[in-house]
Structure 1
Amino acid sequence: MEEIRNQGPHRHEEEIDDDDTISLDEAFFINDNYQLTNFTFGSQELQLFSLHAASTDFDLTGQVVWPGAILLNDYLSKNTEILQGCTAIELGSGVGVTGILCSRFCQKVVLTDHNEEVLKILKKNIELHSIPENNCPTSHGLSAEKLEWGNSDHVNRILQNHPGGFDFILGADICFQQSSIPLLFDTVKVLLLIKEDRKCKFILAYVSRAKTIDLMVTNEASKHGLQMKELPGTRRIVGNLEGVIFEITLN
């Protein structure tokens, strides 16, 4: 998946005994040896900097492209007409593979992540796709903003910067840890409500890894007064796991 949320403080120290503690520098956990990687979705080709294996810090899974992003991008590349001229915000963008694909068709795409290290590579990939010399269409209307789910300051800044709201909220492989799921749906509901015509849709590419998470996602959607509909023909195996795309809207 593209990211894990709200997991509490990192453990960057290993206690040996009551008297001795080894302190490890944060850089020990970070792999920033990004590689320019080619991705093809239908007729669309993307080049992005990413890792082939995430850093050892569990908060940095956004450095790699996960199966749910492949599932969502395959779907969107076959249904580009729904994106034409629209606006979108992506949650847990990671390296930005989904948001950058959408920028080929959308009027505006806001890519978000909460991790500063991930935001660095996300912004680098946005810059890469703003340069005409790349052998691919130039992406327009792309920006990156920090957004931690459930953080009222971050959410309010999004509301202030984009008062008209969005046509789509996008999420690919972002339901991974139980503690983050209620916060995700808190944020999604606020973003759905920005759009005055109530026509905003949350498109979630979900990969099943645990039955408890499966149940929690559906329960949280219901608790938040949201309708969850499986998009026909999207259920398939990705990365040896079952994936599916949901369309989630206000009731």
Structure 2
Amino acid sequence: MEERRNQELQHHQQQNKEEEEEEMVCLDGSFFINDDYKLTNFTFGSQQIQLFCLHSASTDFDLTGQLVWPGAMLLNDYLSKNVEMLQGCSVIELGSGVGITGILCSEFCHKFVLTDHNEEVLKIINKNIKLHSCSEDTSPTSHGLVAELLEWGNKDQVNEILQKHPGGFDFILGADIYILISSIPPLFDTVNRLLRARDGRKCKFILAYVSRAKTMDSMIITEASKHQIHLKEVVGTRTIVGNLEGVIFETTLE
């Protein structure tokens, strides 16, 4: 009798499991992606630009680059006031998102390399590069802009970029590029490699930093110091971005 009850219980559990599996909805990756980009206007000083971006994030946390973050607004405001600093220079940006900084700088930089680790984000970067291309030139290198895949800490990808752009860069830019604490060590490993690629010539790292947590604040400083990178606050740049405090850091290797 006991054995029969056990068999009936197992049969009932199996039926429930099969019913649950039938009710499950299988979702592919596209479910988490919102690509309903809106053409949006931005003004920085006397410069006005348009680009495609989202006004709210995708479900996938990895797609944060589809938005224009406060740090990018802070960085672009700073660069628009210091155009002469980047005049004719070669620049690489880490975590370019939709490409708003590269598009702003394309008028006065000799070369601007936008990077991101996410293929979906690279699509919108290239879409915005094409938007700002001349009608007779729709290549992904228009106006000195080019998009490259780069996951921080990936030596092979860094080396591949440096092979395409020998001699390194005059400037490395970054804005709001430390969303996860786990991303900070590989970020500064990549910055360190790019800074050292100049063969004795100076390369400057400019970081638009928006403070979101005290733990993040201290870890940024600590990790930079491990690579002999001293983050120096640019006087007069500390400001409130939205409801958060932001500041511009500039650094070269110690």
- For normalisation by structure 2, the TM-score amounts to 0.87
Q: CA deviation at 1:131?
A: 2.5
Deviations 1:120-145 (A, max 9, x none): 00001001111259xxxxx6111000
Q: Unaligned stretches of 5+ in structure 1?
A: 1-16, 134-138
Residue in 1 that maps onto 2:81: 78
Q: SS in structure 2 opposite 1:187?
A: helix
| Bigger radius of gyration | 2
* Mapping 1:16-31, distance limit 5 Å: 20=21, 22-31=25-34
Q: Report the RMSD for the aligned CA atoms in angstroms.
A: 1.7
* Mapping 1:11-160, distance limit 5 Å: 20=21, 22-131=25-134, 140-160=143-163
Q: SS in structure 1 opposite 2:212?
A: coil
Q: CA deviation at 1:109?
A: 0.3
Give the letter aligned to residue 165 of structure 2: H
Residue in 2 that maps onto 1:233: 236
Identify the structure with bigger relative contact order (alpha carbons < 8 Å, sequence gap 6+): 1
Residue in 2 that maps onto 1:202: 205
Of the three residues 167, 174, 178, the one matched with 2:177 is 174
Residue in 1 that maps onto 2:4: none
Q: CA deviation at 1:186?
A: 0.2
Question: How many corresponding residue pairs?
Answer: 231
Q: CA deviation at 1:197?
A: 3.1
C-alpha separation in 1, matches of 2:123 and 2:113: 15
C-alpha separation in 2, matches of 1:61 and 1:149: 15
Deviations 1:77-108 (A, max 9, x none): 00001011101000000100011111111100
C-alpha separation in 2, matches of 1:240 and 1:143: 33
Give the letter aligned to residue 80 of structure 1: V
Of the three residues 161, 178, 187, the one matched with 2:164 is 161
Residue in 1 that maps onto 2:6: none
C-alpha separation in 1, matches of 2:236 and 2:135: 36
C-alpha separation in 2, matches of 1:79 and 1:54: 31
C-alpha separation in 2, matches of 1:131 and 1:159: 27
Give the letter aligned to residue 159 of structure 1: L
Q: CA deviation at 1:76?
A: 0.4
C-alpha separation in 2, matches of 1:152 and 1:221: 18
Partners of 1:198 and 1:250 within 8 A in 2:
no
Partners of 1:54 and 1:63 within 8 A in 2:
yes
Q: CA deviation at 1:198?
A: 3.5
Residues 98/43 of structure 1: CA separation in 2 closer, same or farther (3 Å cut): same
- Confirm or deny that 1:248 pairs with 2:238: no
Give the letter aligned to residue 150 of structure 1: G
Give the letter aligned to residue 26 of structure 1: G
- For normalisation by structure 1, the TM-score amounts to 0.88
Residue in 2 that maps onto 1:11: none
Q: CA deviation at 1:24?
A: 1.7
Give the letter aligned to residue 48 of structure 1: L
More strand by share: 1
Partners of 1:192 and 1:198 within 8 A in 2:
no
Worse-superposed segment, 66-75 or 20-29: 20-29
Q: CA deviation at 1:23?
A: 3.0
Q: CA deviation at 1:22?
A: 4.5
Identity of aligned residues (%): 73
C-alpha separation in 2, matches of 1:115 and 1:72: 22
C-alpha separation in 1, matches of 2:181 and 2:192: 18
C-alpha separation in 2, matches of 1:154 and 1:23: 34
